[in-house]
A and B are shown apart, each in its own frame.
Chain A
Amino acid sequence: MNLLIKNGRVVDPSQGLDDVLDLLVKDGLIREIGKELTAPSGVETLDAAGNYVVPGLVDMHVHLRDPGLEYKEDIVSGSRAAVAGGFTSIACMPNTKPVIDNKTVATYIIARAKDVGLCNVFPVGSLTVGSHGERLAEMGELKEAGCVAVSDDGKPVCNAELMRRALEYARGMDIPVISHAEELSLVGEGVMNEGFTSTELGLKGIPRVAEDVATARDVMLAEYTNSPIHIAHVSTRGALRVIRNAKLRGVRVTCETAPHYFTLTDDAVRGYNTNAKMNPPLREADDVAAMREGLQDGTIDAIATDHAPHHNDEKDVEFNVALNGIIGLETSLPLSLALVDQGVLSISQLIERMSFRPSHILNLGRGTLKVGAPADITVIDPSAEWVVEAEKLASKSKNSPWLGKKMKGVAVATIVGGNLVFKR
């Protein structure tokens, strides 16, 4: 499909662009950017006046639940949710059934996603066999099969020696390691952030230091082994401080946070709201402020959703019994755009953290509108107001803390490889 996107405000931090421009897409690639381009014959025109035209958004942390847990989400519904949220590429975590610790599962996901044909899906392979944290997974084979990183996400690698060796081995295979940093002995039976709210609600707390300690360990192991490491879902000021200091020393560390960590505090748990239960847990106002500072000063490289669909039966239960996680693909963009409205980030900085940098961390070769690049493009109406309604979400699961809440900003068109896969 060939397409001329006209009159949009093209924001592309990869080439320092922020101007009203036209953009010509041909044969799946970006062919031309400039003022007042005219559509060659047979090329459709998309009017983007008043909208942002940005490199397709990249979510480097998604749980697609396929194979094995399709009652929560599958590659079809997850891809639909992604493109509705403006994402053209997503990386899916390996805690499926079976776990993505072998070529077969990785190949299935990639093939299935191609069949579905909506967004690019890049599997993250398991760091250890079965994500059991005992033996290294076949990282070489996983990479060859198309995995873009390795991780035991969902649980930490408890054994420090194993983590050290995983970092070293992954460096040899040139595949990034994503760390779920959590010291389980400090988490204990905790179910929410430890603080005043947990005291009042009588719920067992998860102290912030459980994340800080584990982050410090993994960053130090990365430094010692001179290996790159990416810290997933950072939620505490302490963990961020560790990462910031390490970056200053030249450690090859990158990190992400999720919209809920820069938007919500553990106050959202009040009423024993299981849609505010996730891991790491929602923290306090000071941590939310820290996430915003980290996004602003670049310590936080990427915004990722940690999209974690769960069935209503797994959430509509007593608080302790409810599973961790919330969906995020369809609310990430408006929640992140709020950072621009609030003056935390420029639109260019935001798009960098939602597209170019996550793509760069995973070596996806995307996140850019440079001529010749794959035509992954998101067109955003930043002022459209809408309400999050369960029945209108593309995701199979509806476990969002923002149900019934007003949002501002939405993807109006999502183009993947030159195909208009979503239009609102």
Chain B
Amino acid sequence: MAEFKHKDIIALQDLTKQEIELLLSTAESMREINNRDIKKVPTLRGKTIINLFYESSTRTRTSFELAAKRLSADTVNISPSTSSTTKGETLADTALNLLAMKPDIIVMRHSVSGSHYFLSKKVPCSVVNAGDGAHEHPSQGLLDMMTMKDRFGRLDGLKVAIVGDITHSRVARSNIQGLTKLGSHVFLAGPPTMMPPGVERLGNVTVCGSLREAIQDADVVMMLRIQQERQGKTLMPNACEYARYYGLNPENVKLAKPDAMVMHPGPINRGVEMSSSVVDGDQSWILKQVENGVAVRMSMLYHVCGGELE
């Protein structure tokens, strides 16, 4: 088996195809633990993991916390106010203070892209990225890939459509980086106001002129969350018009392959990027994504600790 030599997991861009495959295959072993009656193994017993969340999060933080606990690590959750980076203690000082408590891993979510690289230079412990600005969200990318692999048994050759605000999406970037390394072809769609320049140069990526073009014959349709507080100002007229031209509904979903899977990183705006009937429909794999999230994060924590599976 390939070795995992990184101290940190900050971006799928930094990992090789083999390393991503290793993380995914370990995640499959971890999933078995999650299905036991007693969902706990002693693998990371005695390890301390700090969840440092500068942005609010329910799903990701809970998922990382469960992942750590099921591996028997001790966890602490810290949610500094979002303004603390500009007003109070600096990230470097926060990190050094936390370090004095001897954590083995810091799992961080931060609104500034690249802040994990900054943190990693300041601390000897492992740094795991739970989302940085619009840069990457590697655990989400991995759990999405794991879910696709569950469905198709492979990632190579898949046609994956990602629709929404690509510019501001760390989920899109991690998926693009991971999927294209593993042989998928990514098709992007969204209003041109939400399409970042040069994105097609990130890998085997095609930028499409419309939702229909992107999802035509797709194996996977991934819809991104639209945040009205962000995109509502100048990037689109309103949610209603967005839903009309870029939302997934029971009609246009038929353009994808008949066995296509529909995904969403959550939280969903029902009726905006996806209609409720698609969210709850047969092709929806959204809850499976959440389930796989715990397994993927167990795999990430396990590998940065360099431990042996018992």
Name the distance in Å between B199's Cβ and chain A's nearest Cβ. Answer: 5
Known: A202-B136, A203-B134, A204-B134. A319 touches B199 (CB 8 A): no
- B202 CB–A CB distance under 8 Å: yes
Listed in ascending order, the chain B residues whose CB lies under 8 Å from chain A are 13, 85-86, 90-92, 110-115, 117-118, 132-136, 167, 170, 173, 196-199, 201-202
* CB–CB A199/B117 < 8 A: no
- The number of inter-chain residue pairs (CB within 8 angstroms) is 69
Option from B85, B115, B134, B198 in Cβ contact (under 8 Å) with A195: B198
Contacts of A271 in B (CB 8 A): 117
* CB–CB B118/A272 < 8 A: yes
- A194 CB–B CB distance under 8 Å: yes
Contacts of B202 in A (CB 8 A): 199-200
* CB–CB B134/A196 < 8 A: no
- A198 CB–B CB distance under 8 Å: yes
14 A-B pairs (CB sep. < 8 Å): A195-B198, A196-B197, A199-B197, A200-B13, A201-B135, A202-B113, A202-B114, A202-B134, A202-B135, A203-B135, A319-B118, A320-B111, A320-B113, A321-B86
Q: With A and B bound together, what is the CA distance between A196 and B203 in angstroms? A: 12
* CB–CB A319/B91 < 8 A: no
Looking at chain A's contact residues, the main secondary structure is loop
Q: With A and B bound together, what is the CA distance between A205 and B196 in angstroms? A: 9
Name the distance in Å between B2's Cβ and chain A's nearest Cβ. Answer: 25
Q: With A and B bound together, what is the CA distance between A110 and B132 in angstroms? A: 47
* CB–CB B115/A318 < 8 A: yes
* CB–CB B170/A317 < 8 A: no
8 Å CB interface, A310-343 against B: 313, 316-321
Residue of B85, B132, B198 contacting most chain A CB atoms (<10 Å): B198
* CB–CB A202/B197 < 8 A: no
Q: With A and B bound together, what is the CA distance between A205 and B13 in angstroms? A: 20
* CB–CB A203/B118 < 8 A: no
* CB–CB B135/A195 < 8 A: no
* CB–CB A196/B113 < 8 A: no
Contacts of A317 in B (CB 8 A): 90-92, 118
Known: A318-B112, A320-B112. A202 touches B86 (CB 8 A): no
Contacts of B167 in A (CB 8 A): 199
Option from B114, B133, B136, B198 in Cβ contact (under 8 Å) with A196: B198
Option from A200, A204, A318 in Cβ contact (under 8 Å) with B118: A318
* CB–CB A319/B198 < 8 A: no
Q: Per-position contact with B for A261-276: 1 when CB-CB < 8 Å, else 0?
A: 0000000000110000
Contacts of A198 in B (CB 8 A): 196-197
Known: A316-B92, A318-B91, A321-B86. A199 touches B199 (CB 8 A): yes
Number of interface residues of A (CB under 8 A): 20
Among residues of A, the one whose C-beta sits closest to the C-beta of B132 is A202
* CB–CB B110/A318 < 8 A: yes
Among residues of A, the one whose C-beta sits closest to the C-beta of B202 is A200
| A-B contacts besides A202-B133, A318-B115, 13 pairs, CB < 8 Å | A194-B197, A202-B135, A203-B113, A271-B117, A272-B114, A272-B117, A318-B91, A318-B112, A319-B112, A319-B113, A320-B112, A320-B113, A320-B133
Option from A195, A205, A319 in Cβ contact (under 8 Å) with B114: A319
Q: Per-position contact with B for A292-326: 1 when CB-CB < 8 Å, else 0?
A: 00000000000000000000010011111100000
Known: A201-B135, A272-B117. A196 touches B112 (CB 8 A): no
Name the distance in Å between B308's Cβ and chain A's nearest Cβ. Answer: 33
Listed in ascending order, the chain A residues whose CB lies under 8 Å from chain B are 194-196, 198-205, 271-272, 313, 316-321
Q: With A and B bound together, what is the CA distance between A200 and B202 in angstroms? A: 7
Contacts of A200 in B (CB 8 A): 13, 173, 198, 202
* CB–CB A321/B85 < 8 A: yes
Residue of A204, A205, A313, A318 contacting most chain B CB atoms (<10 Å): A318
Among residues of B, the one whose C-beta sits closest to the C-beta of A192 is B113
Q: With A and B bound together, what is the CA distance between A202 and B11 in angstroms? A: 11
Option from A202, A205, A272 in Cβ contact (under 8 Å) with B170: A202
Contacts of A196 in B (CB 8 A): 197-198, 201
Contacts of B197 in A (CB 8 A): 194-196, 198-199, 205
Q: With A and B bound together, what is the CA distance between A355 and B132 in angstroms? A: 46
Q: With A and B bound together, what is the CA distance between A271 and B113 in angstroms? A: 11
Contacts of B199 in A (CB 8 A): 199
Q: With A and B bound together, what is the CA distance between A320 and B80 in angstroms? A: 18
Among residues of A, the one whose C-beta sits closest to the C-beta of B86 is A321
Contacts of B112 in A (CB 8 A): 318-321
Q: With A and B bound together, what is the CA distance between A313 and B90 in angstroms? A: 10
Name the distance in Å between B224's Cβ and chain A's nearest Cβ. Answer: 14
* CB–CB B85/A199 < 8 A: no
Contacts of B110 in A (CB 8 A): 318
Name the distance in Å between B285's Cβ and chain A's nearest Cβ. Answer: 26
Q: With A and B bound together, what is the CA distance between A194 and B195 in angstroms? A: 12
Among residues of B, the one whose C-beta sits closest to the C-beta of A203 is B113
* CB–CB A199/B86 < 8 A: no
Q: With A and B bound together, what is the CA distance between A271 and B120 in angstroms? A: 12
Option from A203, A205, A313, A316 in Cβ contact (under 8 Å) with B133: A203
Name the distance in Å between B225's Cβ and chain A's nearest Cβ. Answer: 16
Contacts of B198 in A (CB 8 A): 195-196, 199-200
* CB–CB A318/B196 < 8 A: no
10 closest A-B pairs by beta carbon, nearest first, are A196-B198, A202-B135, A272-B114, A202-B134, A199-B196, A202-B113, A318-B112, A318-B115, A320-B112, A203-B113
Contacts of B111 in A (CB 8 A): 320
Q: With A and B bound together, what is the CA distance between A194 and B85 in angstroms? A: 24
